[in-house]
Structure 1
Amino acid sequence: MQKIERYILLLIAFAPMCLKAQQSRIEVIKQKYRPLYHFSPAKGWIGDPDGLVFNNGLYHLFWWGHATSPDLVHWQEQPRPMKGDDGRFSYFSGSVAVDNSNTSGFGKKSMVAVFTRHFPGDTLPETQVLSISNDSGKTFHYYQNNPVLDIKKIFFRDPQVFFYQPDKRWKMVVTRPDIQQICIYESPDLKNWSYCSSFSGLGAKNSFWECPDLFQLPVEGRNTKKWVMIIGRGPNKVQYFVGDFDGRQFIPAARTVDYLKNGKGIDGIVFDDFETGVEKRWKYDGAAFRVSKKLDVSDYLGNGFAGSAVKSSSTGKMISQTFTIKHSAINFLLAGGNHQQSICISLVIGKKVYRTATGDNTKVLKWNGWDVRELIGKRARLEIIDSNPDTSNAYIAVDHIIFSNKLMNHQLEHAQWLDYGPDYYATRTWRNYDAGKNMGDSVFSLGWMGNWQYAGKVPTTWGKGFESLPRLLTLRQTNSGYQIIQQPVPQLAQLRGPERRATVNVTGSQKLDSFKPTKNSYEIAAVFTPSVKANFGMSLLTGEGRKLLLSYDPVTSILTLDRTNCTDFVADTAFTRLFAGKITAPVALKNGKLHLHIFVDRASVEVFANEGEMILSAATFPSEEQLGILLFSNGGPTNVSLKAWELKTIWEQ
């Protein structure tokens, strides 16, 4: 047969598949807000990533739907796999174990889904149950002898199971979310579980703890690994802890404990931590701060804080010693009633109040702070005030006042956060059941790009929710202990179109003429070198009177993502109140430069700062005409060197 004839026959044979792929691509592109290179299901709900395993050369993603990928980039959605239940319960989050040694007796290389069985109404205990697959995850059949773990608690969920080689037993981390506790169990066969230990009492100790994971990470520059526990703190954050695991107990590292419990290693100078000798450093006016030392608040550091009583009509204030302002920021942990001037902490110079802050009507201390750059050199004092005689939510708690050149006004608890953005939750890591064949020592993670405050209100008609970009994780030693460094997986580079480069000195605002994307599916790697005190950044998704503003202030080391006016979705007031706003995160310049690696994908942006030291992930929902990109620098010029690529859709394959 002639070569041309064989080619024609091949075209005829593959034409239906090519046509199907093209139709699929067109269908996705037509769906407004549908991500082009983040995974999303064709329809229905997607939330927590479950059952992340690498097996037989494929990466599996479950959400009790199912998708597979050869490279963590291109995904093929599979039929929904769960079979055999009686329909009375919901499949809550969990994991998948590949039983290569047939410890369970379900069959060699069986895939065993371990997940939470949840009944409607939160009236019956949540239990851990199994479903078994003997066809590489295509179908899972409900185990007849479920549940395999039942502690008779209403809230008991999200098991992550893995095989621990040193003692050849399966381990499970599972959460009691309402009491912020992670329990560790072990089993020889995935069916019979015994209690080992629990972990609690560090980091953000409020709201539900969900979706735990426990795994090893390599330490950069050292031939060693440490164990990491990650925990979702509802409704939209993930915190982590670094330490050791002996097969039964997770023990956080001493520096991790010291940082999280006592604040050691925070950037700046501690003005007061309210541990001892407070009466010698502060004057008291009135009785409000003398009534009770048993204020019911959480997430303060050490053993002490300044607080007024919750149920008391007493009023008064605490007045600090006078000090000279030498730093650009004053940070503090703050909780209490939102009563503006009557219950607050204030910065006073002479007889004038220059700054004030009040609580958010919770009993959880969170970082707040003031930019005081223009007050440097002034003599000042702090006043902690409770002048409200009301006994309803009328109190204040303050801890760890820090003078620093890094502003910490992000209003989050003192914790190690995996992502500072508003839409990143329920992170899990892939388990390598093809050890040594592909992943090696690499650890890849995935999170849900959602937020339980408004997840049900997002303006998508094709489905609800999508996953983050897969990330490559490592550990780095810092002054405050070990820090997780996250990078987008390098496999994403295969989606790049032609590279565009630019090096410009920016003063004021100017369009990025060298890169004009035709759709909001692109990647930018930029290095900003500012002059002293120049505030700089980028306006993304610009058009139709809207934009997503990404700005950096080198004086206070703050990166800000402003999405107050980025979406074309005409939302109800509740959605707008929760969605619109500014998100800030502290990140210092590196050798006078800020490195930003930015991924824009129709309805989202993920920003990796300084090669993965800090991440901001956010949903955006712009119109398809918001394609403009602007550079700006105010207060002086900024040199910008960047590379940019349009990214192909993963649905082309």
Structure 2
Amino acid sequence: MNRMLLCALPLLVSITSPAQTPGPAADPYRPVYHFTAPKNWINDANGLVYSNGQYNLFYQYNPQSAQPGHLAWGHATSPDLLRWTAQPVALTEYASLDGSNTMIFSGSAVVDKDNTSGLFAAGKTDGLVAFYTGHQERAGAVVAQHQNLASSPDGGLTWQRYAGNPVLDIGSKEFRDPKVFWYAPQQKWVMATVKADRQQVYLYESKNLKDWSFLSRWGRVGNTVKEWECPDLFELPVPGGGTRWVLLISAGGPVEQFRGQQYFLGQFDGKTFTPDQAYEEPTYLDFGKDYFAAVTFNNVPDGRRLLVGWANDWAYAQAVPTGTEWRGSFAVPRELSLRRTAAGLALVQQPLAELRRLGKEALSIKSRDLKPGPAGYELPFHGESYDLELTLKPGKANLLTLNVLQSANEKTVLRYDVAKQELTLDRRQSGNVAFHPMFASSLETAKVPLRDGQLQLRLLVDKSVVEVFAQDGETTLTDLVFPTQHAGRLSLITDGPAQVTALRLTDLSQSLTP
């Protein structure tokens, strides 16, 4: 999707990636089990597709620096969505004879197993076709945004831009982020794009991935404070029978002035998306400040719908204090499903099941009474990269507080107000918050009703990333934090008698060490 892009020489070797390289002392903020590029700037996930036993993660990447600009598609592959290998830069910015410069904005990728495009050799069943927004500038001014394709016969290692690009151009400067998928009932490809400034999704169809015809448009509902970006449209089963189509849109977020994502449930008949309700109010995907531009994988073999989001916010993304070597990470992939709740049918997000293969159990508690008082209960574990599962019964307590990444003068605070049934993530004392005035400007709060009188939480904490999953994934909050003291303590505090009914902590600090 966004906003800047790149021109670069390809990487010549594969490198074992994300945060498997620098140790905590050398790089206190590079996550251990959340994806980061080996160096430089990243933002949106692009071209998520499974092929030949590998998950392909393409992403907006600046090979020149850790600042936004000159965006290309970086590339990494993984057999399990846990351990990633960096691959050569896939798609790079290019100049035209008319003096304009076309940069590679966000998009998607598909496996053209039947060679509907005619771009591959006879019998080729694993050719990849990528769709990206060409962001065209001349003398620093935006000329156009249009949709383009490139093909790869070798699993995404090398690419050829299509000679007939752009394959879709409506003469707009705000037309981007193509998500392409196969619509089996009508044996055709469908592309979801956005007319960003109109807050509308535009849908197109094609039989050959090269020639596209307009189907319909839909939008201007929910959050329309900011432009719409990064659409994704897919089908999920409904418990008890039937299906719903889910439309994801990146736009304004639940915290004013920040970006976020909303989702809509409805039906898609191959031409038109019809929502289940009016959606006069937004239905948000994540209630933190740092989850944006999430899209799902195509072609996952077991049928799971897996989502990857950028853990950052454009308000301060280029200022986050991770140094000059790298900037940007992705949240852990999330598996999506639908669940019937008291409030109706809801989209549920749960951490990738494969995450449980990592690390070692460091702490397990079946039951523990919590006594009120300012000291609370300090867990017998210190660390900055872990997976914490916790179930609390409030009892007579009105306020439940969990402090993580806690040191003498720092802590990231998760609070639950029993009466209001609200969960709040507070990073105002989390460490370095002064690098940008908006970083600690407000709290992140979500409505989280108790279930059977209990609050179930799962926290993925990874040095500078905190992901919170409440009530088995019915609500999520994602925030960046930048501790400076690194004691890594955890404590539980209540203002009345309460109880831990289950607790399990898995140490992930060495989970990806070769």
- Unmatched 5+ stretches in structure 1: 1-19, 262-413, 434-438
1:44 aligns with 2:40: yes
Cα deviation, residue 483, structure 1: 0.6
Partners of 2:17 and 2:84 within 8 A in 1? no
Provide the residue aligned with 1:211 in structure 2: 230
Provide the residue aligned with 1:73 in structure 2: 82
Alignment partner of 1:126: what SS?
A: strand
Provide the residue aligned with 2:105 in structure 1: 92
1:551 aligns with 2:408: no
Shift in CA distance, 176/122, structure 1 to aligned 2, threshold 3 Å:
farther
TM-score (norm 2): 0.87
Matches within 5 A, 1:142-221: 142-220=161-239
Provide the residue aligned with 1:343 in structure 2: none
Shift in CA distance, 569/651, structure 1 to aligned 2, threshold 3 Å:
farther
Shift in CA distance, 463/22, structure 1 to aligned 2, threshold 3 Å:
closer
Provide the residue aligned with 2:326 in structure 1: 463
1:27 aligns with 2:22: yes
- CA distance in structure 2 between the aligned counterparts of 1:148 and 1:208, rounded to whole angstroms: 23
- CA distance in structure 2 between the aligned counterparts of 1:510 and 1:131, rounded to whole angstroms: 59
What amino acid sits opposite 1:79 in the alignment? Answer: P
- CA distance in structure 2 between the aligned counterparts of 1:163 and 1:206, rounded to whole angstroms: 31
Provide the residue aligned with 2:70 in structure 1: none
Alignment partner of 2:225: what SS?
A: coil
Shift in CA distance, 24/509, structure 1 to aligned 2, threshold 3 Å:
closer
Alignment partner of 1:102: what SS?
A: coil
Cα deviation, residue 86, structure 1: 2.9
Provide the residue aligned with 1:246 in structure 2: 269
What amino acid sits opposite 2:386 in the alignment? Answer: Y
- CA distance in structure 2 between the aligned counterparts of 1:480 and 1:498, rounded to whole angstroms: 35
- What percentage of residue pairs aligned between the two structures are identical? 36
Worse-matched range after superposition: 600-609 or 233-242: 233-242
- The CA deviation string for residues 550-585 of structure 1, in whole angstroms up to 9 with x for no partner, is 1101101111111111023652xxx13343431111
- CA distance in structure 1 between the aligned counterparts of 2:305 and 2:381, rounded to whole angstroms: 34
Provide the residue aligned with 1:58 in structure 2: 54
Worse-matched range after superposition: 497-506 or 81-90: 81-90
What amino acid sits opposite 2:127 in the alignment? Answer: S
- CA distance in structure 2 between the aligned counterparts of 1:140 and 1:172, rounded to whole angstroms: 21
Provide the residue aligned with 2:489 in structure 1: 628
- CA distance in structure 1 between the aligned counterparts of 2:135 and 2:74, rounded to whole angstroms: 17
| 1:138 pairs with one of 157, 164, 172 | 157
1:530 aligns with 2:394: yes
- The CA deviation string for residues 322-348 of structure 1, in whole angstroms up to 9 with x for no partner, is xxxxxxxxxxxxxxxxxxxxxxxxxxx
Cα deviation, residue 206, structure 1: 2.4
Shift in CA distance, 155/190, structure 1 to aligned 2, threshold 3 Å:
same
Provide the residue aligned with 2:255 in structure 1: none
- CA distance in structure 2 between the aligned counterparts of 1:244 and 1:225, rounded to whole angstroms: 8
1:563 aligns with 2:427: yes
Provide the residue aligned with 2:116 in structure 1: 103
Partners of 1:148 and 1:191 within 8 A in 2? yes
Partners of 1:534 and 1:636 within 8 A in 2? no
Shift in CA distance, 493/511, structure 1 to aligned 2, threshold 3 Å:
farther
Shift in CA distance, 576/565, structure 1 to aligned 2, threshold 3 Å:
farther
Cα deviation, residue 106, structure 1: 0.7
Cα deviation, residue 136, structure 1: 0.9
What amino acid sits opposite 1:132 in the alignment? Answer: S
Partners of 2:41 and 2:328 within 8 A in 1? yes
Alignment partner of 1:493: what SS?
A: helix
Cα deviation, residue 145, structure 1: 1.6
Cα deviation, residue 650, structure 1: 5.2
Matches within 5 A, 1:327-406: none
Provide the residue aligned with 2:130 in structure 1: 113
- The CA deviation string for residues 236-258 of structure 1, in whole angstroms up to 9 with x for no partner, is 211001111111111112xx33x
- CA distance in structure 2 between the aligned counterparts of 1:55 and 1:77, rounded to whole angstroms: 16
Partners of 2:45 and 2:57 within 8 A in 1? yes
Shift in CA distance, 652/21, structure 1 to aligned 2, threshold 3 Å:
farther
Alignment partner of 2:354: what SS?
A: helix
Shift in CA distance, 89/83, structure 1 to aligned 2, threshold 3 Å:
closer
1:129 aligns with 2:154: no
Partners of 1:116 and 1:129 within 8 A in 2? yes
Matches within 5 A, 1:199-598: 199-220=218-239, 222-234=240-252, 235-253=258-276, 256-257=277-278, 260-261=279-280, 414-432=281-299, 439-461=301-323, 462-502=325-365, 503-506=367-370, 507-510=372-375, 512-517=377-382, 519-568=383-432, 570-571=434-435, 575-598=436-459
What amino acid sits opposite 2:361 in the alignment? Answer: P
Cα deviation, residue 135, structure 1: 1.1
What amino acid sits opposite 1:442 in the alignment? Answer: R
Partners of 2:407 and 2:488 within 8 A in 1? yes
- CA distance in structure 1 between the aligned counterparts of 2:16 and 2:54, rounded to whole angstroms: 20
Q: Which has the larger radius of gyration?
A: 1
- CA distance in structure 1 between the aligned counterparts of 2:19 and 2:396, rounded to whole angstroms: 50
What amino acid sits opposite 1:489 in the alignment? Answer: L
Shift in CA distance, 44/602, structure 1 to aligned 2, threshold 3 Å:
same
- CA distance in structure 1 between the aligned counterparts of 2:17 and 2:327, rounded to whole angstroms: 24
Shift in CA distance, 466/613, structure 1 to aligned 2, threshold 3 Å:
same
Shift in CA distance, 648/549, structure 1 to aligned 2, threshold 3 Å:
closer
Shift in CA distance, 24/619, structure 1 to aligned 2, threshold 3 Å:
closer
Partners of 1:511 and 1:629 within 8 A in 2? no
Cα deviation, residue 533, structure 1: 4.6
Partners of 1:180 and 1:206 within 8 A in 2? no
- CA distance in structure 2 between the aligned counterparts of 1:623 and 1:457, rounded to whole angstroms: 16
Partners of 2:427 and 2:481 within 8 A in 1? yes
- The CA deviation string for residues 582-605 of structure 1, in whole angstroms up to 9 with x for no partner, is 111110111111000111000010
Cα-Cα RMSD:
2.1
What amino acid sits opposite 2:448 in the alignment? Answer: V
- CA distance in structure 2 between the aligned counterparts of 1:214 and 1:53, rounded to whole angstroms: 15
Worse-matched range after superposition: 132-141 or 82-91: 82-91
Alignment partner of 1:484: what SS?
A: strand
Shift in CA distance, 160/455, structure 1 to aligned 2, threshold 3 Å:
same
Partners of 1:65 and 1:80 within 8 A in 2? yes
Shift in CA distance, 479/24, structure 1 to aligned 2, threshold 3 Å:
closer
- CA distance in structure 2 between the aligned counterparts of 1:635 and 1:624, rounded to whole angstroms: 30
Partners of 1:73 and 1:650 within 8 A in 2? no
TM-score (norm 1): 0.69
Cα deviation, residue 606, structure 1: 0.4
- CA distance in structure 2 between the aligned counterparts of 1:421 and 1:53, rounded to whole angstroms: 27
- The CA deviation string for residues 225-272 of structure 1, in whole angstroms up to 9 with x for no partner, is 21110000145211001111111111112xx33xx23xxxxxxxxxxx
Alignment partner of 2:452: what SS?
A: coil
Partners of 2:296 and 2:305 within 8 A in 1? yes
Alignment partner of 2:466: what SS?
A: strand
Alignment partner of 1:151: what SS?
A: strand
Partners of 1:94 and 1:113 within 8 A in 2? yes
Partners of 2:93 and 2:104 within 8 A in 1? no
Cα deviation, residue 528, structure 1: 0.7
- CA distance in structure 1 between the aligned counterparts of 2:23 and 2:85, rounded to whole angstroms: 13
Shift in CA distance, 246/26, structure 1 to aligned 2, threshold 3 Å:
closer
